[in-house]
Chains A and B, each alone.
Chain A
């Protein structure tokens, strides 16, 4: 099981994604905006962050930039989770040093596998970045 923070303002999308991940055994905490996400992560750094780029307070790129400047978050996978066009999202993912991109709307059949790609569960239970 991995602890995952999902920073997503769209309630339907957050509900679906967190339900799928929870069913797969992950512990998911949802932040509804960038500020909440930063607070949540500062209190307890997760093993993976999924972050939307369009957020109502601080935009996703800035959230990612702030997370990457936190020592506890430098090795934690950050995955862009967005409905933005693939080319735009890819450019932002690369520029901001993210580990991956999952485009919304998600495919419910493959979403958990997509997320798990960014996590590697070792026999001793620790989680490493792939």
Chain B
């Protein structure tokens, strides 16, 4: 995208749209615009202002770098947000209001964000697109993104507490130890499951367990009043992961669980299935070097 020299520093324009920083909008306005843009999405997941604010905080979304597109009449046409961590940026919440599609606003919005990422000296950009969203996938491929891996969004409704062998030692983790555990992770999480996301979100619970045969590991999750989410763990094997999950769910048997972005080929997926998790839908994680 090329900036129009007649526009202010914060406002740029293409042939079809004008772009404003998302920071000019309230969280309620951002949520409303996002919901309008995703009303016919494959898996619509609307937000309210409170959830939008939480999303921005947890995922280090920079509203001053995120953009709202307005069509030539001045009406809001689309949104695209950007998270920033170190030298990486994350493109998220891209959506164009249905009546304003076909004007390449999505492409221009994404290009504008990539420009902003370069200006921040980011070296990589990443995003997730839901599997089956062919237009968005085509757009990202055309811009130079490459697929990194498939990701599962999985759910587990509350269920009776799984029985735990009393010989297994279970130790609750303090906030300090949780932070140490998160700092020692060896997995390659998606943006929303990175340790920064968990620490930003707060509400973390965790346990270390040990088996009589000497195996040890830990599990950490985010627990809200209604839901467990953002589950991360360190486990020597799939059977042990089942024990970690059983520990988690025995501690919070009444909470629903929503786990996003488990790699499709995760070697411990069977442990989740064994505890009653079911696949909801899939995403594709994509990367590009800036």
Residues of A within 8 A of B (CB): 9-10, 33, 54-59, 61-62, 64-66, 68-69, 83-85, 88, 91-92, 94-97
* Contact present for A55 and B256 (CB under 8 Å): no
* Contact present for A65 and B157 (CB under 8 Å): yes
* Contact present for B51 and A85 (CB under 8 Å): no
| Docked complex Cα distance between A83 and B43 (Å) | 7
Q: Which 4 A-B pairs have the closest CB atoms?
A: A56-B48, A65-B256, A54-B44, A62-B256
Range for the number of chain B residues in contact with chain A: 20 to 34
* Contact present for A54 and B46 (CB under 8 Å): yes
* Contact present for B254 and A84 (CB under 8 Å): no
* Contact present for B44 and A84 (CB under 8 Å): yes
Residues of B within 8 A of A (CB): 31, 35, 39-40, 42-48, 50-51, 132, 155-158, 226-227, 254, 256, 258, 276, 278-281
Give min CB distance, A82 to chain B, whole Å. Answer: 8
Extra A-B contacts (4), CB below 8 Å, given A54-B44, A92-B278? A61-B157, A62-B226, A65-B256, A84-B43
| Docked complex Cα distance between A6 and B156 (Å) | 24
Give min CB distance, A83 to chain B, whole Å. Answer: 6
* Contact present for A33 and B48 (CB under 8 Å): yes
From A56, A69, A97, contact of B51 by CB (8 A): A56
Give min CB distance, B150 to chain A, whole Å. Answer: 15
* Contact present for B280 and A65 (CB under 8 Å): no
Give min CB distance, A7 to chain B, whole Å. Answer: 12
From B40, B47, B132, B155, contact of A95 by CB (8 A): B155
Give min CB distance, B97 to chain A, whole Å. Answer: 15
Question: Can you name the residue of chain B whose Cβ is closest to the Cβ of A10?
Answer: B39
* Contact present for B43 and A61 (CB under 8 Å): no
Give min CB distance, B158 to chain A, whole Å. Answer: 5
Give min CB distance, A56 to chain B, whole Å. Answer: 4
| Residues of chain B lying within 8 A (CB to CB) of residue A88 | 43, 280-281
* Contact present for A91 and B278 (CB under 8 Å): yes
| Docked complex Cα distance between A97 and B40 (Å) | 26
| Docked complex Cα distance between A57 and B276 (Å) | 24
From B31, B132, B227, B256, contact of A56 by CB (8 A): B31
